[in-house]
Structure 1
Amino acid sequence: MIPKFLKKRIFTAPTTTDSAMTTDGNPVASTPYAKAPINQLYRKLSGQLLDVAVKPKLLGELPEFDADDQTLIFYVLQDYSRSNSILIDLQTQEHRLPPALVGVNDAAHRIKENAAIVFLNHPHAKDTPLSPRLSRLVSAVLQYPELKVRLVPVSILWGRAPEKEDSLFKLLTADNWEDPSITKQLFNIGVMGRDTFVQFHPPQDLRTIIDTHLKDDTEDSDLVDAVTTDLKDPSEQATNSDSKQDAAATPHYALVATADSNRELVRNIQQQLTIYLDKQRASMLGPDLSDRRNLVDKLVYSPAIKHAIEAEAEKTGTSVRDARLLAKGYANEMVNDYSHSIVRGFYKFLTWLWTQLYDGVEVHHFERVREIATDYELVYVPCHRSHVDYLLLSYVIYKSGLSIPYIAAGDNLDVPVLGPLLRGAVAFYIRRSFRGNALYTAVLREYMHTLITRNTPIEYFIEGGRSRSGRLLPPKMGMLAMTVHSQLRQTNKPVVFIPTYIGYERIMEGGTYVGELKGKPKESESLIGLLKVGRKIERIFGTVHLSFGKPLYLSEFMQKFDVSANSLPADRTDTPLDDKTSAMVDNIGVKVMQHINKAAVVTPVSLLSLVLLSAPKAALDEESCREQIALYQGLAQQLAYSDDTVITDMSPQQIIDYGIKLKLIERTPHILGDIIQIAGKQAALLSYFRNNILHVFILLSFLAALVARNGRMERSRLDSIAEQLYPFLQSELFLYYPAHGLADTINKKVDTLLSHGLIVELGDGKLSVPESNSKCYQQLQVLATPVGQSLERYFMTLALLAQQGSGNLTESEVVDLCHLLGQRLSVLYADDIPDFFDRALFTSFLSALTRLDYLQKDEETGVLTFDHRINDIAHHAKYVLTPDMMQILHQVASLDESEITHAITEISNKKQRKFGRKR
């Protein structure tokens, strides 16, 4: 049965006697290429054989065609191949696309083709390098203004192993089976048949392509001098005396060029299609591989590393030979040893593992990556939640049809068994710390530069390590700076950063994260640790979400900061970045974090966590729980945090049932209505998932808290307090709202709260809470809770600073003391929620205070100084925090001199013991 969208097309089965027709109705000269590529019987038998032996995997999205459109569809393949033709025909049948090996007969436009495939290269067309079928289609489009032709480029990969440089074996395994190389066809079918990939690329309108080329030719080389035109309507024919301006103004579709000029047009179009398919193939396979030993040697003997070796020898007083051996050792530590067999093994294993471990892996916004993969050097910069991130992201990229990136991994993962496997698949290892080691830095920079200039996709975790709290950690700029440094040394493809959000609903390391936040030593990675994790495979960890944020183009940052391309010497790695470039790197880091948060996924588990952790005793009756979940969904949808933010479409009841299934919450039956509460000992873990999406709701929570704690508040007063405290929330949660437009953002948030009845407008610019004990009042109280913990940490830090006085503590001492106070506060008053003892949060707050000039740091001693404005910020806390909580924070932060001295001594001793263990 023919699909509806094919009924208006007329097809004829291909036969060996069909001859292609020119647009004027005359037969094309008989050539092997003009005849049908395969006869009907051969096609049928070969199709049945190929369908059994070859099981292709479809990559990307299928093209869509209008059911009522009369457009002619032709598939574009790079090289002629009997097997490729049959494979595409089978794929079009399977996916109900316009058929590939059925003749196209359009008498109205004098088109009679025995197949809907355009081959750009053909072994029997050596004297005529142009595709005859493409030539005929171009001529028809030029002659008939109403004719619509779409070309669908198609990539076919028989195996996805990147080719080896100077490899003889690749001559046999090459996927362009040039006729009559039957050996290659049989080899690929027999060996690669189960590892075959097909991708239909977006359709391209042939008329648009033609018009673009004609326009470019007119502008660049005066089309009227090169092309003799013949208009379809004789009354509108251009004469020899026509001016260039009149000819250029003629509609492009009305131009029917002479044979010579038409060949030039077809040649340009064919070259464009060839380049397009070449780029697509490169984006799927990656660059050719160099042997690891040769790559190490190339690194060590490169001009940049030669200079670094000489500098190292001079600095340390060793010989150049010894310095070179040291550099070679560094290179061997880090260089990847890509093995396609290991990658395929990982792919099969992970395909099984995800089905055992997770309910599914959902991918969002990947098409935006595919669109730019051919023309840019891709640098994936994901958040770091779990060790699973390494494998999960590479798996998704590979399955989606692009070349997997090389991942910068800490050398703590280079452990027996696991380390070599990761090195053979995705990882290149770098030391966790190499500050002051100039030679190691030079080798790493040169290796990064080699990968970037070879157009190898790269991935690194911009946070440096895994987040233990669920929030994003402050970005580490080292790898970003190396990427920028490489681009400024030599430009090949422009660099684009891909911020990537990874969200889990359960994580394997959850228990150890809480322990580490409380002060337990970090567990080193080992084979034993891997086996321990393996025991958890029987458990269900829900759904994993990968969301790819909007790409960040390095060229746009360079333009913004006035940084010139190729401004660094190509043969040096030690040229420092100037102030403008350093500021640009810092800005890129912040923007990456903001774009990761924009791409966040509000999952069922994160919503449940946000609701229940904000409720008294982490419990609600089931009806109230449903209503609060529905409220949060409504708020997130009505005023979306970002267009990239994804919100679960589960109903509130489905979300509750899902949480029970994952054993994160439990339902307690009660005669007056069931109670939904957090399951035993899960509160600390659920705070992790709440923190994944806290940024989406934090401003709404902040505004709700201001109104809820004060009963009434003038709208103007609300704006001034928000302006004072927003920079700290922005720094902690990487909010993207600019400070200069904050008032408008606040007004929109307030209007949203008003529309849901959570606050009430009294007139004269005053806002109030709803009627006490009403449903809206209870919902307001729950919504106001999440921001409280951030503000409590701020107030505790400010109280400590104020009580100890200016010029008495260093930044590290303040962080250490706040960490201890947070631990104590959490255990005594906050149900052991780990937010209060996350060192990164205190560091972020102090950094914001310093950046905003509330704190000043002495360069020699590191001591912090400040003035009365510290108390002014703390003064605003009374508008949000309850008097009881403020009293508790004051009490906790009141340490006398002896307590301070004792605490700092103990912390110093602990750090020394930890450092000794590492050494």
Structure 2
Amino acid sequence: MTLEQFYEKNNPWPDRSNQKVLFILDARNSLEEEMLRKWIGSHSDPSASFDAPQVCIDLKDEKTGFDSGQLVMSLALPPETIIAPLRVAWSSGDNRGRLRYLILRDPRKPSPRQGQKILSEHPERVTLMAGAPDTMANLRQRFEDQHSDERAASQSEFANFVARQAALVLDMEERKLKGGRYKMPRHVAATLMASAEYNADLEQLAKDSGRPKDELMKEAAEYMKEMVSAPSSFWIDFYARFNNYCLGLGYEEDIVYDRVALKKIRHMVRNNPSMLLWTHKTYLDGMVVPKVMYDNDFPMPHMFGGANLNFPGLGYLLHRAGAIFIKRSFQDNEVYKITLRHYIGYLMEKRFPMNWAFEGTRSRMGKLMPPRYGLLKYVLEACHHTGAENIHIIPVSISYDIIRDVEEYATEQTGRGKGAESLKWFIGYVRSLARPMGKVYMDIGEPVVLKKAPDPDDRLALSKIAFEVAVEANEVTPITLPSLVTMSLLGAAPKALTETELVEDLNALLQWAESRQLRISPDFDRDFADQMEGPLGIMLKENIVTRYDEGPEVVYGIGLEQHPVASYYRNTVIHFFVNKAIIELALVKASENQEGEAVSVFWNEVDQLRDLFKFEFFYAPTEEFHQQIRDELAHYSDDWETLLNQGAAGFGTLLQNMAPLVAHVTLLTYAEAYSVVAAMLARKEAHESVEQAECIADALTYGRQAYLQRRISSESSIGKLLFKNAYKMLQGRELTEGGPDSLKERRVELSRELRELLRRIDVIRAIGVASRGAS
């Protein structure tokens, strides 16, 4: 359609009953202004008794604010005057986010000369659009409702408000043409500074602190410059291309996700204040959710970014693609806290989804880390302040076949420091991704829905919400081939398994998982041994798994030096097997008991193990947890209590049905690490205290000695995070602070208990080996 045909077919004039009309022309240059004026003129009514004033403003330029002087004069029109905003929209074809557009200019923002060329060669890329009109009276009423008294009295402030509303309705119209992915907040700082609620909070702070309000507003404006993201269509497109490039270096093009689940969250995000909280395994996690949302035309999600990534280059890009970088510490900065709260509240109110890694840092061990409450607290506090309802917190699990960062984690856990992030570091990191690493998986859990945000001071409510999110994220983490292969081979280590034994192990683990309706990756390759280019082939190339095929049978194994790396992949699904592992060890304890009732001993040991590893895993509340244990045992025998009271014979009957046995592969690493710390503490005198940093440092050296003496099975049991949680366990039992002579015996007794636990784990391992040999 030519521009003349468009003029003829589309009428920019709003419906009116002899009312005056004021046109606001969103024009960046003389060409756009000329096109819009010609459009208005082509439908003017020569017999009309009034002229339609036209005010030209560049509504897209947020850096310098609006030149609203002409609009101030025009707003002195009758209240019934209709204000009608118009805009020229240019599309770029299929070449979105090209780096060369930084130099040659984005074709969606052409110069007059470029625009003339597009009009003559590609008129289909030009659209004139009219935003929803409104009357002067309606706009004045909304302005006065939203702004403080002093600002509501200002005609220039009203003009700025009208300009922002014109930009808003034009953006909404343009998204119909270009897609929902370009929904982005506009003129945020100006809107916040004019807000009655924000001004009221700063006025109260001025009274409380004795500082002038103007001084506080000036300080707040500086915070907004660094805090408020500045997205644009070009940078959103460029970030999408950048994400595709980085992920595509090592991973298959298509991320594996459930399209039905994604459709559900589209509805949630559109209609409710929403957060997408994702698990954190690698620096690439922050690219996965934006990629999937961009590819499916979701509104751009705002992402909280760590200050460590706000370095020149990457920080610039992320800030313009929706990232919000906040100070690491601002507890005593009331102006900053008020500004952040109102900014978040504004985004939630306008239905801009927020997303971040709720663990706060990358998981160095593969399993879910304890949630960090800080960001969740700030967002819920903002929701509480604005009275938001039906807040949807959507857990997202991000998984990978192979992760580049795991090698770094393995060395980091031995005590070596992590290098500082910088542009040079990031370039090297991106280059290191250029090797096959399989697939990426994004799984969406059921949302945690809050009718209203809890009181900001209710820490218990906050911890319960974070716990629910973590449990749901665990539930939707998929079982992948690398996670089960490493689980099977680590369970057999230091022995290797024949291909037949490995396949039998994997089938047993899969059957167990399927009978519990656990989430298994839809791309799980059950014919992995016949397809060496798949995940197993990648694991072999990465030396995570070894393969020997020069003997009469092909055998697979994991080298001792690769246990820390292999353990990482096993740990991604370890939470599914923890309850079963606890059951196996409690059954051994009960079957060996010579005194008391076996069932009572069993339940006591279940609770003891749950408490011992409470810093490692997420458990359901006690009653629900006990029911989960009963449900699991019911899979093996409805009469398990009777069998257990029969002693060794009943125990043997139960174990026959319990394959695969998992206690040794699930809990050995943690039990060995705890035993290292407990043994080290038991060597100290009763009056000696130990601090966490000292404990971890000593345990790293003592653990190395224990490994060389083969008192622990592998280096995967030596790690800072393992020893940190072991210290928390000891601290919770009041064993870290020096005390009376009896403290020495309590420390020694715990060390004995852990050695006894390791013995029972060896019993399970031996039974598993024997049953494999029998088969």
Taking structure 2 as the reference length, the TM-score comes to 0.67
* In the alignment, structure 1 residue 689 sits paired with structure 2 residue 565: no
Partner of 2:668: 788
Q: 2 CA distance for matches of 1:463 and 1:124? A: 52
Decide whether the 8 Å contact of 2:490 with 2:567 is kept in 1: yes
Q: 2 CA distance for matches of 1:786 and 1:322? A: 58
Describe the superposition over 1:540-588 as per-residue Cα deviations: whole angstroms up to 9, x where unpaired. 11111111111001227x6xxxx5xxx7xxxxxxxxx34xx22111111
Equivalent residue runs for 1:275-424 within 5 Å = 284-285=180-181, 289-291=185-187, 294=190, 297=193, 302-303=198-199, 306-307=202-203, 310=206, 314=210, 324-359=217-252, 360-364=254-258, 365-424=261-320
Partner of 2:125: 191
Corresponding residue SS for 1:555: strand
Partner of 1:477: 373
Pairing partner for 2:393 from 497, 501, 505: 497
Decide whether the 8 Å contact of 1:412 with 1:525 is kept in 2: yes
1:346 positional shift: 2.2
Corresponding residue SS for 1:790: helix
Partner of 1:172: 88
Describe the superposition over 1:149-204 as per-residue Cα deviations: whole angstroms up to 9, x where unpaired. xxxxxxxxxxxxx99999999733399xxxxxxx99999983389xxxxxxxxxxx
Decide whether the 8 Å contact of 1:610 with 1:690 is kept in 2: yes
Q: 1 CA distance for matches of 2:196 and 2:723? A: 42
Q: 1 CA distance for matches of 2:527 and 2:756? A: 33
Equivalent residue runs for 1:429-508 within 5 Å = 429-508=325-404
Describe the superposition over 1:247-290 as per-residue Cα deviations: whole angstroms up to 9, x where unpaired. xxxxxxxxxxxxxxxxxxxxxxxxxxxxxx99999993576522
Distance 1:308 1:780, change over 3 A: same
Corresponding residue SS for 1:589: helix
Identity among equivalent positions (%) equals 19
What RMSD over aligned residues (CA atoms) do the two structures have, in Å?
Answer: 4.9
Give the letter for the 2:602 counterpart.
L
Pairing partner for 1:638 from 509, 515, 518: 515
Q: 2 CA distance for matches of 1:702 and 1:615? A: 19
Distance 1:715 1:320, change over 3 A: same
Distance 1:618 1:879, change over 3 A: same
* In the alignment, structure 1 residue 650 sits paired with structure 2 residue 507: no
Distance 1:809 1:654, change over 3 A: same
Equivalent residue runs for 1:508-657 within 5 Å = 508-555=404-451, 577-578=456-457, 581-617=458-494, 619-641=496-518, 646=521, 649-651=524-526, 653-654=528-529, 657=532
Partner of 2:155: none
Decide whether the 8 Å contact of 1:279 with 1:374 is kept in 2: no
Decide whether the 8 Å contact of 1:611 with 1:782 is kept in 2: no
Distance 1:555 1:508, change over 3 A: same
* In the alignment, structure 1 residue 750 sits paired with structure 2 residue 627: no
Describe the superposition over 1:62-95 as per-residue Cα deviations: whole angstroms up to 9, x where unpaired. xxxxxxxxxxxxxxxxxxx999xxxxxxxxxxxx
Partner of 1:242: none
Decide whether the 8 Å contact of 2:180 with 2:297 is kept in 1: yes
Corresponding residue SS for 2:270: coil
Q: 2 CA distance for matches of 1:323 and 1:545? A: 46
1:432 positional shift: 2.9
Q: 1 CA distance for matches of 2:351 and 2:341? A: 15
* In the alignment, structure 1 residue 719 sits paired with structure 2 residue 615: no
Q: 2 CA distance for matches of 1:754 and 1:280? A: 60
Q: 1 CA distance for matches of 2:304 and 2:268? A: 22
Q: 2 CA distance for matches of 1:424 and 1:344? A: 11
Partner of 1:837: 719
Describe the superposition over 1:31-71 as per-residue Cα deviations: whole angstroms up to 9, x where unpaired. xxxxxxxxxxxxxxx9xx9xxxxxxxxxxxxxxxxxxxxxx
Partner of 1:882: 759
Pairing partner for 1:661 from 510, 534, 537: 537
1:373 positional shift: 1.9
Corresponding residue SS for 1:601: coil
Distance 1:440 1:884, change over 3 A: same
Corresponding residue SS for 1:338: coil
Pairing partner for 2:646 from 764, 777, 783: 764
Partner of 2:580: 700
Taking structure 1 as the reference length, the TM-score comes to 0.58
Distance 1:552 1:447, change over 3 A: same
Describe the superposition over 1:112-143 as per-residue Cα deviations: whole angstroms up to 9, x where unpaired. xxxxxxxxx9999999xxxxxxxxxxxxxxxx
1:594 positional shift: 1.1
Alignment length, in residue pairs? 613
Q: 2 CA distance for matches of 1:798 and 1:320? A: 57
Pairing partner for 2:689 from 808, 832, 849: 808
Pairing partner for 1:732 from 604, 616, 623: 616
* In the alignment, structure 1 residue 741 sits paired with structure 2 residue 627: no
Q: 1 CA distance for matches of 2:642 and 2:490? A: 25
Decide whether the 8 Å contact of 1:403 with 1:457 is kept in 2: yes
Give the letter for the 1:362 counterpart.
V
Q: 1 CA distance for matches of 2:531 and 2:618? A: 29
Equivalent residue runs for 1:113-152 within 5 Å = none
1:825 positional shift: 4.2
Describe the superposition over 1:273-325 as per-residue Cα deviations: whole angstroms up to 9, x where unpaired. xxxx99999993576522366367558993266258637965xxx87666555
Decide whether the 8 Å contact of 1:637 with 1:647 is kept in 2: no
Equivalent residue runs for 1:227-266 within 5 Å = none
Corresponding residue SS for 1:542: coil
Give the letter for the 1:585 counterpart.
L
Deviates more, 1:613-622 or 1:279-288: 279-288
Describe the superposition over 1:361-403 as per-residue Cα deviations: whole angstroms up to 9, x where unpaired. 1113323312322221111111111111111111112222321
1:417 positional shift: 1.2
Decide whether the 8 Å contact of 2:578 with 2:666 is kept in 1: yes
Decide whether the 8 Å contact of 2:586 with 2:606 is kept in 1: no
Distance 1:441 1:723, change over 3 A: same
Distance 1:279 1:554, change over 3 A: farther
Give the letter for the 1:721 counterpart.
E
Corresponding residue SS for 1:732: coil
